[in-house]
Amino acid sequence: MKPFFRSIIVCLILLCQGCSNDDNGNGVVVIDDDGVGDEPIIETLATLTPSNNEIPVSKTPSISWENYGSDQPITYSLFLGTSENTLTEIESGLTVTSYDIEIANALDLNTEYFWQIIAYEEGETVAQSEVQTFTTELIFPSLITEDAAYGARKATGVEVFDDKIWVIGGRNEADVALTDIWSSDDGENWTLEGDFPFGGIYGHELIAFNGKLWIYGGISEGVLSNKIFSSEDGIAWVEETETTPFIQYQNSKFEVFGDSIFRFAGYSGDIDDLSPERNVYSSIDGLNWNLEIENHGFDTKYSFQIEDLNETLYSFEPNPDLDIEEISTRTSMDGINWSSPEVSEIRERGINSVRTVVLDGKIILMTTPVDGPNLDSTFYESSNGVDWVAATTIDSVPIRAIFYALVNLNGELFAIGGTQRSNFSTTNNSVWKLN
């Protein structure tokens, strides 16, 4: 046989022998008797935390999965993304079965995430998990300053206007009524804008409406005020009227709804706390008021909250009986006629016990933690005011709902001021960012 043909025959024999061998782990396909190649077997790897569809999940979660059993070294890769089709490998070569997201790489709040784990043996995939999903918490409170420049005060007016947070008036620790006006575009850095020209005021309602800031009620010159003040820039103020058609109760609530302001009667110390006076007034200009109904029907006059969500008004009323911890929700499409209450067994601490604010189509409720302490707070969220879920994984935050103001500045939530005791014995000028 000629050497040329002998070489060809040897090569063919070696090639056939290689094809008949089993898969050697380097990607060679196994050839069965029927001549069909088998794909390598990829086992399913179970995930542990977060559980699938879990909500809320910390923005710095610990992600864990089961160990893949093998007598060979195993490494893992973690894939994460905001959709199932955009998973990105964020860590590879892991030799342990958990991974902690650090604060420097914290996930976005209120975001649905998808994740998957893949196990490797000698560089080849041997197991992988199903793609799982979880949603991060909506609220993550952080103290941005405990000594805001406006100084310790209580019963101040707080509102968002002209892309700033405004703090006007209040009482200091010596119970002196304050005249100063402060603003901030980030909740941390504050600018003294001047003084309220009509003397010190506290316990008033500050509300933005029709391109102006308005002040209603409060204590001015030592007496309960019936005056109305307005400002186009938050700095220069004018007195619009000395007398309103309603008594300016200290804890009345004012809420912009549609093209009107609605005023809901609140508590006044000179009448019974459950007196028949529960008047509702409305105004289309902030100055002239119409009596809409004499009794809004709320059980409590101390601490109810009013919010506008999706063209519906919601009222939230802690039970006036301090021995009963529950919150009642009513709704109204016109501010006048209110539904029967629906009760939620959410803890509250009585008078001035809860605060609310709207964010991203949800109502955020600030109230006492399930296991206390009462001086702390936690947060819930609801899209209908009745079905509440935790808005944060932090069980207890060292701020108290009493007399705090919650404000939404262009999608960023802040808790401003407040006091730690119902008798105002302790003032506060801390500011918390909630998301």
- What is the average per-residue pLDDT within 29-35? 43
What's the confidence (pLDDT) of residue 272?
57
What's the confidence (pLDDT) of residue 130?
94
pLDDT in tens, 343-390: 988 877 665 678 999 999 999 999 888 877 777 888 999 999 999 999
Say whether pLDDT at 35 is over 70.
no
What's the confidence (pLDDT) of residue 297?
84
Q: pLDDT grade, residue 199 (50/70/90)?
A: very high
Between residues 315 and 274, which one has the greater pLDDT?
Answer: 315
pLDDT in tens, 37-88: 556 688 888 889 999 999 999 999 999 999 998 889 999 999 999 999 999 9
Q: What mean pLDDT value characterizes the chain?
A: 84
What's the confidence (pLDDT) of residue 268?
61
pLDDT in tens, 212-261: 999 998 888 888 888 999 999 999 999 998 888 877 666 788 999 999 99
- What is the average per-residue pLDDT within 301-329? 85
What's the confidence (pLDDT) of residue 307?
96
What's the confidence (pLDDT) of residue 11?
43
- What is the average per-residue pLDDT within 407-435? 80
Between residues 303 and 189, which one has the greater pLDDT?
Answer: 189
What's the confidence (pLDDT) of residue 430?
87
Q: pLDDT grade, residue 336 (50/70/90)?
A: very high
Region of residue 56 (left: phi > 0; alpha: psi -120 to 50; beta: else): beta
What's the confidence (pLDDT) of residue 13?
40
What's the confidence (pLDDT) of residue 4?
42
- What is the average per-residue pLDDT within 164-188? 93
What's the confidence (pLDDT) of residue 421?
53
What's the confidence (pLDDT) of residue 236?
97
* % of the chain exceeding 90 in pLDDT: 57
- What is the average per-residue pLDDT within 381-403? 87
* % of the chain exceeding 70 in pLDDT: 83
What's the confidence (pLDDT) of residue 350?
63
Q: pLDDT grade, residue 16 (50/70/90)?
A: very low
Between residues 6 and 421, which one has the greater pLDDT?
Answer: 421
